[in-house]
Each structure stands twice: as C-alpha cells, then as structure tokens.
Amino acid sequence: MTHPLDSLRRRGAASRRLLLRAGAGSALGAALWPGLARAQAPAAAAASASASQAAPAPWRNWSGLQQCQPRRHFVPANEAELAQALRDAPAGTTLRSVGAGHSFTPLVPTDQWLVSLDRLSGVARAPVAGAALVQGGTRLAVVSRQLDTLGLALPNLPDIDVQSYAGAISTGTHGTGRELPALHAEVQALRLVTARGEVVECSASKNPELLAAARVSLGSLGVITQAQVRVVPAYNLHRHVWLEPAMQLLERAPELARKHRNFEFYYLPFTGYAAGITHDVDTSAEVLTVQAADEDVLRDLRRLRDWLGFSPALRRKVAGWLIDPKQTEDARNRAWRLLATQRPTRFNETEYHVPAEAGLACVKEVIAALEKRSEVFFPLEFRFVAADDAWLSPFYQRASCSIAVHAAADEAHDYLLSEIGPIFQRHGGRPHWGKLHSLGAAQLAALYPRFKDFQALRRDMDPEGRLLNPHLRSLLGVTA
Ligand SMILES: Cc1cc2nc3c(=O)[nH]c(=O)nc-3n(C[C@H](O)[C@H](O)[C@H](O)COP(=O)(O)OP(=O)(O)OC[C@H]3O[C@@H](n4cnc5c(N)ncnc54)[C@H](O)[C@@H]3O)c2cc1C
C-alpha cells in the first residue's frame, strides 16, 4: 500500500512539485491556492434569467458559508426594467444586489429580493479618451477580454477575475502594487438605480460626493448599472516566482515593492519559506506560458499538516528537505492572463489592510500566531495597495499592506476572527468588506474619517433601509 507521504519522501519528485506550485499559475497562488475556474459558473449565477419567473433556487456564496432563500431572484434585462421594478416593489421589500457571490461576509443574503445584473454585461469605449464604459454585471474576465479586443486593459487585477465589476468595486477589491490602487479608484463616473427606482449619475463634475461614496458602497446606495473606468493601453507582463527563506523575504519586501510594478509574497506555514512573485511590464512581445497550475502543493502542505502536525519541528524539517529554493519560474503574456488565476479549492478568508509602515510588524505577529496552531497549512498572502479617496475605501488616504489568512472551507475558521482579527486591529487594520471580520459601526466609524458622511448620504438615498440586510445594518449602524 502506498504511504500517503510517499510523494513527499521522494525528494526529486516532491521538490519539483513544490516548485511547480510555487511558480505556476501565477504564483504560488494557483499552485497553492483554492479558487474557481474561470469557466465555472459562479454560485450566484445559478439562478439564471429565467429565475425572474420561476421559484428561485436557494443562494449560497462561493465558500458555502453564506446562504439564503430569496423570495425573488430578479435578473433585469436592462436598466429601465430594473428601475421600474424598484418603483413597483411592494412597500417594505428588502432588495440586495448580488454579483458573483464571491464575498465571504453576509453582504448579500436576504429572504426577499436578490437583484442580479447578469444580463447587463459588456464593455465599450467611453466618450472620453483613456476610459471605458463597463456594465455592472460584467465579469472581470469578460472586461479584460473585451478591453483587449479594443487594445485596452485595466491597470491592475485581483487574484481571480470571476467577480462582477460592480460587486468587485463595491467591496474595495484590489490586486497588488505599491503604486497601484484598488479597482474602484479607477472609476470616474457611475450610474445607479436607487431604492426609489430613480436613475442617478455621478462623476467628478456631477454629484461628486455621491461618486466618492458610491465607489465602495456594499450595495447600500443603489444598484450600480454602469461605470466609466480609467483604462490603459493593453500591456504584457513578465512574471517571476521564487522561493526564499521567509524572514529574509519579509525584510526585502519593501524594497521589492519599490522596484517592481507588482510584488506580493505568500508565506508557507511551517516550512520556513515564502514565495515571492513579481510582475513587470514586458515589451518583448514574447509569450512564455507555464504548465497550468494545479493544487498538488496545497495538497502536499495539507498532507504534511495531517501527518506531521503533531511536531512542528519535524514538519518544518521535512518541508525544508522537500523544497528546492533554487528553482524559479517565469512567464510572459498579456497582463490579464497572468495577474488573475484560478482557485478550485474552496476556503474562507479574512483580510485586513494595515498602514503600509505597519505591514511587516503586523505580518510577523500574524505568522507567530498561525504557527501556534498546528492545523494551519494555507499560505498567507501579503500585498501592497496604493491610497485612494473613496469614503469607505479601506485604502482611504492611506497606502496599505494587505494581509490575507485562509482556512479550508471544510475546516474550522473561528480563529481567523478570534485570534488573527485582534492582531490586525491592534495595527490599525481596516477589514476587507468582503472578507471575514467582526467589526461593527462604532469600530468602523473610528477607522473611516468619512463614515458619518456616508451614513448621512445613505439615509437620504434610502431612508426606509430597503437596500439593507441585518449585516449591513450592523456595519452601518442602522437600528430603525
Ligand atoms: C477565490 C477568491 C479570491 C479573491 N481574491 C480577491 C483579491 O485578490 N482581492 C480582493 O480584494 N478580493 C478578493 N476576493 C474577494 C472578492 O473580490 C470580493 O468579495 C468581491 O466583492 C466579490 O465580487 P462579486 O461579484 O462576487 O460580488 P458579491 O460578493 O456578489 O457582492 C459583493 C457586494 O457587492 C454588492 N453588489 C453586487 N453587485 C452590485 C451592483 N450591481 N450594484 C451595487 N452593489 C452590488 C453586493 O450587494 C455586495 O455588497 C476574492 C474572493 C474569492 C472567493
């Protein structure tokens, strides 16, 4: 009978596998990480257009942690139909917008109306140079592909690209890059359908305060039907991935972030190693692809945990024996083909954004806490994000380091909130709106200088709270 650790014991094969992981698929990411295949239908899309007529299916988010049974799953064909339906909705109806269901927090669940813009999808050139019009329901992968046909691209992308554009900006979704802000920071103008069924527009010259509030608004100000977004000429990137002793890479992180367009690292728990990933603009026009990333490394890390979790020292020793830090991996391609990856294995996640200068001290504390828990095996992700000025942006007037900690969807994740959350909070962290955290309105108000302004604007736009569910009420301090 084959011993489950046999693959890890054969140094050559195993180290090559770890290496492939580390380098492949954008990174370790793909190698070590869980996620959704681009081709796979998002959970929230399970209810199709016809669901507006039929009894809706139960809804669940990507990780399966959040679920609901809506009374109606409304998938309007166009903005006018959406506005009419909101005007006609019976008094007291709660409506929650849903994108691709890739948030971990209970932002979406309602037992009343779910509104999905799956049929409002597409990209066009904007009337102004250097910008595109993106319909709210467009998946990021579709945004990238359609922009590419126009010779254009988004300046940056998150780890995956299955999210809807409106859903992604609504929670402050970001990639990595010291000089690169989150997606919503590139939004120049928005169209929303309000709770009253009115279509409103905002931009720097028209309703600028609404633009500042609505770019990250958790579906609480209206349904975003279209965004005018800054784009850049299509570009290629060169990706480089390597393994390095973790503490050494941590110390080099600020310098690497200054030197490279995109830099991030994944810390591999109980191995002593981290994987560095850089992306830089590539003008060579060469295309260099890598073997599609699979999840062998994640499985190997899990196996190491399962078999050697009883002895952190032995686990670290075996991991050090298996990992060959000399191996590296390089890829060259269109930016969107490299920046976003696939995450087949499901997980739950917390992520906070701490002031950039607190990033290293914070991540060291988080690593120390994680390594006290023998069940931990998922890599930790560390990224850099530039500041912006959206009122509820976690990066509001603050360059940040984003630190993300994951737990397998089929395992307990309570320590993400009880043990890891307080460390982030001590370092002044603002939680990712779409990832697990336990903060309420009072704590959030202390973290966001424009929080009260947002509350007032929301009250004006939706005095009856038709766009709120219990989670939103607790976040935004709405009791009535
Ligand atoms: C595998 C995985 C990888 C991820 N990687 C990253 C990453 O690299 N960086 C990062 O920052 N985040 C990441 N996330 C988090 C994810 O990007 C966010 O949670 C994002 O908001 C999900 O988009 P969605 O389309 O699924 O929106 P949903 O989760 O469906 O909704 C999110 C919010 O947007 C609102 N909303 C949706 N559509 C509209 C609309 N038309 N108008 C107004 N409001 C709307 C909803 O009401 C809700 O409040 C990841 C998540 C997963 C599961």
Give me the chain's average pLDDT, please. 89
Secondary structure letter of residue 185 according to DSSP: G
Q: Which residue has its alpha carbon closest to ligand 1 atom 10?
A: 173
**pLDDT exceeds 60 at position 101:** yes
pLDDT of residue 292: 52
pLDDT at 195: 97
| Ligand 1 site, residue 166, Cβ cutoff 6 A | yes
Check if 178 has its Cβ closer than 6 Å to any atom of ligand 1.
no
Lookup: tokens for 445: 């108000």
Contact 338, 52 (CB under 8 A): no
Q: What percent of the chain has pLDDT over 70?
A: 88
> Each residue of 132-189: pLDDT tens digit?
999 999 999 999 999 999 999 999 999 999 999 999 999 999 999 999 999 999 999 9
Distance 432 CA to ligand 1 centre (A): 10
Ligand 1 atom 44 nearest Cα: 219
* Nearest atom, ligand 1, residue 219 CA: 44
Say how many Å lie between the CA of residue 170 and the centre of ligand 1: 7
CATH code for residues 51-116: 3.30.43
| Pairing of the two strands 113-116 and 95-98 | parallel
pLDDT-derived band at 15 (thresholds 50, 70, 90) equals very low
Residue nearest to atom 51 of ligand 1 (CA): 102
Q: What superfamily would CATH give domain 6-35+236-431?
A: FAD-linked oxidases, C-terminal domain (3.40.462.10)
Provide the H-helix boundaries in 218-267.
246-259
Q: Which tops the pLDDT comparison, 86 or 47? A: 86
Say yes or no to pLDDT of 190 above 80: yes
Separation CA 43–CA 209 (nearest Å): 33
The Cα 467–Cα 221 span in angstroms is: 7
Condensed to tens digits (0 to 9), the pLDDT of residues 320-348 reads 998 888 889 999 999 999 999 988 999 99
Mean pLDDT of 40-59: 52
Residues 396-450: tens digit of each pLDDT = 999 999 999 999 999 999 999 999 999 999 999 999 999 999 999 999 999 999 9
pLDDT at 312: 96
- Whole-angstrom Cα distance, residue 131 to residue 231? 5
Fold of 123-233: 3.30.465
Task: Look up tokens 């809706």; give the residue.
Answer: 56
- List the Cα angle 472/198/48 in 5-degree steps: 65
What CA–CA distance (Å, rounded) separates 18 from 476? 44
**Confidence at 278, pLDDT banded by 50, 70, 90:** very high
Q: How far apart are CA 398 and CA 387, in angstroms?
A: 5
- Report the atom number in ligand 1 closest to the C-alpha of 96: 47
Q: Quick check: CB of 15 below 6 Å from ligand 1?
A: no
Q: Is the CB of 462 under 6 A from ligand 1?
A: no
Binding site membership of 183 for ligand 1 (Cβ less than 6 Å): no
For a mutational test of ligand 1's pocket, the pick from 98, 262, 476, i.e. the residue with the most ligand atoms closer than 8 A to its C-beta, is 98
What's residue 323's pLDDT? 87
Query: 242 φ, ψ to 5°?
Result: -150, 160
Asked whether 422 and 403 are in contact (CB, 8 A), the reply is no
Burial of residue 463, with CB atoms counted within 10 A of its CB: 0-12 exposed, 13-18 middle, 19 or more buried: exposed
Mutate to test the pocket of ligand 1, among 28, 162, 169, 173 (most ligand atoms within 8 A of CB): 173
150 CA to centre of ligand 1 in angstroms? 26
Does ligand 1 come within 6 angstroms of the Cβ of 218? yes
Strands 262-268 and 273-281: antiparallel
Residue range 289-296: average pLDDT? 69
Spans of all domains in the chain: 6-35+236-431, 51-116, 123-233
Q: Is the CB of 434 under 6 A from ligand 1?
A: yes
pLDDT given at position 54: 59
More confident residue, 19 or 135: 135
Overall average pLDDT of the 278-288 stretch = 96
- Is the per-residue pLDDT at 200 higher than 90? yes
Among the residues of 50-157, which ranges form H helices? Answer: 79-88, 140-149
For residue 28, pLDDT beyond 70 = no
Ligand 1 neighbour 223 (Cβ under 6 A): yes
4-8, 57-61, 419-423: lowest mean pLDDT where? 4-8
pLDDT at position 37: 26
327 backbone φψ class: left, alpha, beta (φ>0; ψ -120 to 50): beta
Question: Pairing relation of β-strands 72-74 and 187-193?
Answer: unpaired
